[in-house]
Amino acid sequence: MSLATFDLTPLRRADRWHPAELAFWLLPVAAYLVFPDNLVLLTQIAITALFCLSLDLILGYAGIVSLGHAAFFGFGAYAAGLLAANGIGDPLAGLAVAALASAALGFVTSFLVLRGSDLTRLMVTLGIAMMLYEVANKLTDLTGGVDGLQGIEMTPLLGRFTFDLYGKTAYWYAVAVLFLLFWAARKLVHSPFGLSLKGIRLNVARMPAIGAPVNARLSAIYTIGAAYAGIAGALLAQTTQFVALDVLSFNRSAELMLILVLGGSGSLYGAVIGAIVFMSAHHVLSDMNPEYWQFWLGALLVVVVLFARDGVMGGLRRLSHAAGGLRKGAR
Partner 1 sequence: MDYALQTRNLAKNFGGFTATNNVSLNVEAGARHALIGPNGAGKTTLINLLTGFLEPTAGHVILQGEDVTRLGQHQRVKRGLARTFQINRLFADLTVLESVTMAVNERLGLGARFWKPVGAHGQAVEEAVALLDSLRLLDVAHEKTRSLAYGKQRLIEIALALAMKPRVLLLDEPAAGVPTTESRELFESIAALPRDVTILLIEHDMDLVFRFADRISVLVGGALLTHGTPEVIANDPKVREVYLGEAICA
| Least distance CB 143 / partner 1 (angstroms) | 34
Interface with partner 1, residue 192, by CB under 8 A = yes
Within 13 Å of residue 258, how many CA atoms lie on the same side as its CB? 19
Interface with partner 1, residue 160, by CB under 8 A = no
Cβ distance to partner 1 smaller for residue 1 or 26? 1
Contact 149, 82 (CB under 8 A): yes
| Least distance CB 197 / partner 1 (angstroms) | 10
Tell me the per-residue interface mask from 211 to 250 with partner 1, x by CB under 8 A, - otherwise: xxxx-xx--x------------------------------
Interface with partner 1, residue 117, by CB under 8 A = no
Q: Which of 142, 208, 318, 319 touches partner 1 by CB under 8 A? A: 208
Q: Count residues binding partner 1 (CB under 8 A).
A: 37
User: How many angstroms separate the CA atoms of 172 and 43, rounded?
Assistant: 8
Interface with partner 1, residue 50, by CB under 8 A = no
Gyration radius of the chain over CA positions: 20
Interface with partner 1, residue 138, by CB under 8 A = no
Interface with partner 1, residue 58, by CB under 8 A = no
| Least distance CB 226 / partner 1 (angstroms) | 16
Interface with partner 1, residue 180, by CB under 8 A = no
| Least distance CB 116 / partner 1 (angstroms) | 18
Residue 41: name the closest of 314, 240, 311, 293 by CA.
240
Span of 88-96, 111-119, 187-195, 236-244 interacting with partner 1 by CB under 8 A: 187-195
Cβ distance to partner 1 smaller for residue 10 or 324? 10
List, in order, residues 6 or more apart from 190 with CB less than 8 Å away. 14, 15
User: How many angstroms separate the CA atoms of 121 and 111, rounded?
Assistant: 11
Cβ distance to partner 1 smaller for residue 121 or 331? 331
Span of 6-14, 85-93, 104-112, 169-177 interacting with partner 1 by CB under 8 A: 6-14
Interface with partner 1, residue 87, by CB under 8 A = no
Interface with partner 1, residue 18, by CB under 8 A = no
| Least distance CB 220 / partner 1 (angstroms) | 7
| Least distance CB 183 / partner 1 (angstroms) | 11
Interface with partner 1, residue 137, by CB under 8 A = no
User: How many angstroms separate the CA atoms of 234 and 47, rounded?
Assistant: 9
Cβ distance to partner 1 smaller for residue 12 or 160? 12
Interface with partner 1, residue 15, by CB under 8 A = yes
Q: Which of 138, 187, 318, 321 touches partner 1 by CB under 8 A? A: 187
Q: Which of 28, 81, 106, 194 touches partner 1 by CB under 8 A? A: 194
Q: SS3 sequence, the chain? A: CCCCCCCCHHHHCCCCCCHHHHHHCCHHHHHHHHCHHHHHHHHHHHHHHHHHHHHHHHHHHCCCCCCCCHHHHHHHHHHHHHHHHCCCCCHHHHHHHHHHHHHHHHHHHHHHHCCCCHHHHHHHHHHHHHHHHHHHHHCHHHHCHHHCECCCCCCCECCCECCCCCCHHHHHHHHHHHHHHHHHHHHHHHCHHHHHHHHHHHCCCCHHHHCCCHHHHHHHHHHHHHHHHHHHHHHHHHHHCCECHHHHCHHHHHHHHHHHHHHCCCCHHHHHHHHHHHHHHHHHHHHHCCCCCHHHHHHHHHHHHHHCCCHHHHHHHHHHHHHCCCCHHHC
Interface with partner 1, residue 270, by CB under 8 A = no
**Positions in the binding site for partner 1 (CB under 8 A):** 1-3, 6, 8, 10-15, 187-188, 190-196, 198-199, 202-203, 205-214, 216-217, 220
